[in-house]
Structure formats: C-alpha cells, structure tokens
C-alpha cells in the first residue's frame, strides 16, 4: 500500500513535447506538493495545494500547470518541454497542523532530449 504514488517513474521525451505526471496519496492528507530536484540533489518547492486550492506557486514557468481534481490527487502538466526541465520531480503530501511533515513519492525522472 504505497502512501504517495506517482507515475510514471521514468519519462523520456523530446524537446517541445507536452507531458503529464500523476500523483495520488492515500494518507487522507489535505495538502499536496510538487518539488523539483536537480542533478546536484537540490530540492525546491514548485507548488502546493491545500484541499484542492493552490496556496504556493513559486517562480515556475507558466509552462508548468498543476491540477488537483480532489484532495487525494495532484497532477503536473508540462507544456513545450525544454532541456532545462530535465530533473527528478517529487510529489509529496502532508496534513496541516502536523508541522508540515512531508511524505514523498518515489519520484519521476524526466529526461528531455
């Protein structure tokens, strides 16, 4: 029973394509996130949703569009992929009021060729 699951695990695509990454959590948490980890392992928050509402939107290109159909799902759609988008993308969830203890998915390795 995976707590935070994201698909696909690997995504290899050409520049200019559009792709989506899906995330689901079965922990009953009310907050979900997308983080980007670069090749040096530096981790940076991209978006955060609380009960389907966007609460954090960092300075991310508008080619990245998150969508939360319900509080258990947070998907990430990326338009017009660029070489610099290559990274590992992590979905995470937490429950408000519990010190933002984050539960992470296993990551999606995106490679843009």
1 or 14: whose CB is closer to another protein? 1
Contact between 102 and another protein per CB under 8 A? yes
Reply yes or no: is the peptide bond before residue 66 cis, omega within 30 of 0: no
# residues contacting another protein (CB under 8 A) = 20
Which residues in 17-36 contact another protein (CB under 8 A)? none
What beta strand segments (E) does 26-86 contain?
31-37, 43-50, 53-57, 64-70, 73-78
Question: Interface with another protein by CB under 8 A: which residues?
Answer: 4, 40-45, 48, 56, 90, 92, 99-107
């Amino acid at each position: 029973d995976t707590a935070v699951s994201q698909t696909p695990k690997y995504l290899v695509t050409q520049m200019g394509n559009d792709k989506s990454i899906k995330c689901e959590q079965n922990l009953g948490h009310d907050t979900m996130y997308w983080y980007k980890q670069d090749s040096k392992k530096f981790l940076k928050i991209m978006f955060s949703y609380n009960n389907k509402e966007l609460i954090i939107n960092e300075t991310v290109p508008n080619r990245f569009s998150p969508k939360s159909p319900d509080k258990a799902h947070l998907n990430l759609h990326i338009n017009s992929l660029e070489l610099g988008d290559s990274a590992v993308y992590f979905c995470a969830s937490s429950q408000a009021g519990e010190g933002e203890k984050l539960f992470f998915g296993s990551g999606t390795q995106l490679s843009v060729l």
